[in-house]
Amino acid sequence: MTIARVALDVPVACLFDYAAPSLGRECIGKRVLVPFGKRQIVGMVMEIANQPSISPQRIKPVSFVFQDIPAIPAKTLALFRFCSDYYHHPLGQVVMNALPSRLRRNKPITQNANRWFDLTETGRRVDLSTIPAINVLRRKLLERLKTEGALEIHEARKIAASAQKSLNEFTELGWVQEIAPPAISESRAIPAPELNAEQEQVLRPIRMGEFACWLLFGVTGSGKTEIYMSLISQALVKGKQALFLVPEINLSPQLEALLKMRFPQCRVVCLHSGLNEGARLENWLLAQSGQAQIILGTRLAVFTPIPNLGVIIVDEEHDASFKQQEGLRYSARDVAVYSAKQANVPVILGSATPSLESYQHALSGRYNMAILSRRAPENAALPPLRCIDIRRAKLNEGLSETLIAALKERLQRREQSLIFINRRGYAPVLMCCACAWISGCSRCSSRLVLHLREKQLRCHHCGHEECVPSACPNCGNVDLIPLGQGTQRVESALSDLFPSARILRIDRDTTRRKAMWPGMLKSIQEQQVDILVGTQILSKGHDFPNLSLVGILNADSSLYSTDFRASERLFAQLMQVAGRAGRADIPGEVLIQTQFSDHPLFEALRRNDYSAFAETLLAERRHAGLPPFMHQALLRAEATRSSTVMNFLADAAKVASRVDHEVTVYDPVPAHMPRLAGRERGQLLVQGASRKKLQAFLNDWYPKLTEKAGKKVRWALDVDPLDF
């Protein structure tokens, strides 16, 4: 009896057996339709076996085998298994969620991507006027083919949704034929700048065709992008594909453009969650079939089957958005390293401020370190950085006189400035002067942020919105004051101070509609903006050549946070923002307003010394027994009542103490944000001195958790958690 073991998108950690008399091993990696309860659902064949693992009477047959696309390669299936094992997430959910949504539907897909049509000799001789005028569409199509030559099916569909039908008719008439896709672009490649000595040195030891993980530690503006381009080109020359992972694509439209310009003969596809289903599927298929040579994507792209993988690049490797925070809580950076090893190709993790995990790996020799210590363009220097002590300074709406004067100077010189404040909205909270009531979220343990422009109070955690009250809900006093600052407030303070300056606010509120961002970027680059006010969106890898001043407000709250990663993050963020200043010929300057100007973090920033700071932090972490020297997993739980959560966690801790392993199990505690969207949350931390020990423990513990958790608790295991 032939049995197909099928992965299904259900929260159960096993494969499901179905009878498949006519199937063989070639079906591994194919999608199938199978009966599940009363429904038919789509799954993926992971194994073919001779023996069922349940009683043969209970086995139902596979209903249908999809033949619409080639099977998922064994390497990709192995990657899914690794993720399921390592992150302790049901295999079926890992597999099915890694697929583009169209492939999870009960219907086969019709694959039309990259089909090209051109006129035949007969077609070319057809006189347009012989086609009846009411056939508008057919005329349009023919006209388009006559004037501009071959066209791709998507373009045809844009002319009319039913274009395929007309093209079929034309084909039958012998007017049109399907042709091989033409070369991507006729335009010539934009030449790369000549690499400097440091860049050459970094590239020399990186070899194609063998696994090695490289940490490319290069200061902002040191030309890491050129290193990536050069490695991609080496892979392409060998006929290989390149995977390029970035934290966010919508924020860096220039990168896609650059890749297309540098490699005009190649197909570059993007993969990220902002694409519509059709585009996502199409790009995924182009990668899987090997037709796309360069795959540029966000974290989810790490699961794309790439048959001919030659190199993986992870840019801004320190960025927290490589870690997925729900479902399969994977780190795309770590998965990328695994898949590079699997494919035996080099992987490059680039950053000006590497994560301490990667940095420690590089120090210990597990990863190779490559360093770019200087800015690449000849005259560009790293900007000097100064702290403004706001305990002594007089502030005008949160802005010191020094900063205001510096802004004025830039306006006079027609240079750009950037004010960084990592809080959107007008003020983080609204308060009553009479009774000290503050605006809190009714569903979360958080405060409602005042958005003055929209006249709303908004919760940035659960999305709850309400109108700004005209009087205090507690005592009726009408005197409510906004406390603290957000981007909107800074924007309005600046426009009061500099009425003629062109100010642009950039935060999640103003870039929400994704089409907005490229336009904003363009207006910055075309010098239509004098002062930028924005959140961390602005810290991510943009090149603003005319920007010469960066002002940083309100960074202090992270200096003494309870989260042990807070200072690592703050340092990275400030260094990245500071790196926006003075990238070309104009010298830059960075001003930081703080109450703690002697703090070692600012001292290290002033010296622009990431290594020294990282090494201090690492020494602290080693001493305190924290990652990267320890390995953690966090059991997260939530329910409507906090007692349900805490009881489950206490049970889990009890079970853990009976599992005999060398790990430390901490006490259950409420989550950092104990209430979110109306649910109570708690967590339990376990920590082991090695990955192996921790994994051995989790393997024993995980199945027991499944038994303990009742229906009332929602829980998840977060391996290598970043947020607490």
Q: Tell me which of ligand ADP, Zn ion, none is bound by residue 443, counting a contact when its beta carbon lies within the kind-specific cut-off of 5 to 8 angstroms.
A: Zn ion
Q: Which three-class secondary structure state does DSSP give residue 643?
A: helix
Q: Site map for ligand ADP, 318-357, x if CB under 6 A?
A: ----------------------------------------
Strands 589-594 and 395-396 come out as unpaired
Dist CA 151 CA 141 (whole Å): 9
Dist CA 268 CA 256 (whole Å): 8
Q: How many residues bind ligand ADP (CB under 6 A)?
A: 16
Is 462 an interacting residue with respect to Zn ion (CB under 5 A)? yes
Q: Are 197 and 340 in contact (CB under 8 A)?
A: no
Q: Tell me which of Zn ion, ligand ADP, none is bound by residue 627, counting a contact when its beta carbon lies within the kind-specific cut-off of 5 to 8 angstroms.
A: none
Residue placing its CB nearer to ligand ADP in the complex, 350 or 627: 350
Is 442 an interacting residue with respect to Zn ion (CB under 5 A)? no
Residue placing its CB nearer to ligand ADP in the complex, 355 or 439: 355
Binders of ligand ADP among residues 217 to 276 (CB under 6 A) are 218, 220-226
Task: Using the rule CB under 5 A, give the single segment among 297-305, 340-348, 453-461, 560-568 that binds Zn ion.
Answer: 453-461
Shortest approach of ligand ADP to residue 232 CB, angstroms?
13
Residue 182 main-chain phi, psi, to 5 deg? -70, 165
Q: Site map for ligand ADP, 542-561, x if CB under 6 A?
A: -x------------------
Dist CA 576 CA 385 (whole Å): 13
| Residues in Cβ contact with 31 at an 8 Å cutoff, skipping those fewer than 6 apart | 42, 43, 44, 45, 65, 66, 103
- DSSP symbols for 229-272: HHHHHHHHHTT-EEEEE-S-STT-HHHHHHHHHH-TTS-EEEE-
Is 685 an interacting residue with respect to Zn ion (CB under 5 A)? no
Q: Tell me which of ligand ADP, Zn ion, none is bound by residue 222, counting a contact when its beta carbon lies within the kind-specific cut-off of 5 to 8 angstroms.
A: ligand ADP
Dist CA 648 CA 706 (whole Å): 11
Shortest approach of Zn ion to residue 434 CB, angstroms?
5
The one-letter amino acid at 369: M
Binders of ligand ADP among residues 359 to 418 (CB under 6 A) are 376-377
Look up residue 336 and give its two tokens: 């990328």
Is 434 an interacting residue with respect to Zn ion (CB under 5 A)? yes
Residue with tokens 């690794």, as numbered in its chain: 82
Q: How many residues bind Zn ion (CB under 5 A)?
A: 15
Q: Are 399 and 493 in contact (CB under 8 A)?
A: yes
Shortest approach of ligand ADP to residue 592 CB, angstroms?
20
Taking alpha carbons only, the member of 160, 161, 156, 162 closest to residue 117 is 156
Q: Site map for ligand ADP, 179-208, x if CB under 6 A?
A: --------------xxxx--x---------
Q: Site map for Zn ion, 379-418, x if CB under 5 A?
A: ----------------------------------------
Q: Tell me which of Zn ion, ligand ADP, none is bound by residue 226, counting a contact when its beta carbon lies within the kind-specific cut-off of 5 to 8 angstroms.
A: ligand ADP
Is 93 an interacting residue with respect to ligand ADP (CB under 6 A)? no
Give the count of beta carbons closer than 10 Å to the beta carbon of residue 115: 16
Task: Using the rule CB under 5 A, give the single segment among 221-229, 256-264, 270-278, 472-480 that binds Zn ion.
Answer: 472-480
Dist CA 567 CA 613 (whole Å): 10
Shortest approach of ligand ADP to residue 233 CB, angstroms?
14
Binders of Zn ion among residues 187 to 206 (CB under 5 A) are none
Q: Are 551 and 401 in contact (CB under 8 A)?
A: no
Q: Is 88 exposed, middle or buried (0-12, 13-18, 19+ CB in 10 A)?
A: buried
Dist CA 421 CA 537 (whole Å): 10
Shortest approach of ligand ADP to residue 590 CB, angstroms?
16
Residue 347 main-chain phi, psi, to 5 deg? -125, 135
Give the relative orientation of helices 91-98 and 74-87 as an angle to the nearest 10 degrees.
Answer: 130
Shortest approach of ligand ADP to residue 224 CB, angstroms?
3
Residue placing its CB nearer to Zn ion in the complex, 237 or 435: 435
Residue 235 main-chain phi, psi, to 5 deg? -65, -45
Residue with tokens 């300074």, as numbered in its chain: 393
Q: Tell me which of Zn ion, ligand ADP, none is bound by residue 3, counting a contact when its beta carbon lies within the kind-specific cut-off of 5 to 8 angstroms.
A: none
Task: Using the rule CB under 5 A, give the single segment among 203-211, 353-361, 457-465, 493-501 that binds Zn ion.
Answer: 457-465
Dist CA 130 CA 264 (whole Å): 39
Dist CA 507 CA 532 (whole Å): 10
Is 459 an interacting residue with respect to Zn ion (CB under 5 A)? yes
Q: Tell me which of ligand ADP, Zn ion, none is bound by residue 218, counting a contact when its beta carbon lies within the kind-specific cut-off of 5 to 8 angstroms.
A: ligand ADP
Residue with tokens 């009553």, as numbered in its chain: 432
Provide the binding-site residues for Zn ion, judged by CB under 5 A: 432, 434-435, 437, 441, 443-444, 459, 461-462, 464, 472, 474-475, 477
Provide the binding-site residues for ligand ADP, judged by CB under 6 A: 193-196, 199, 218, 220-226, 376-377, 543
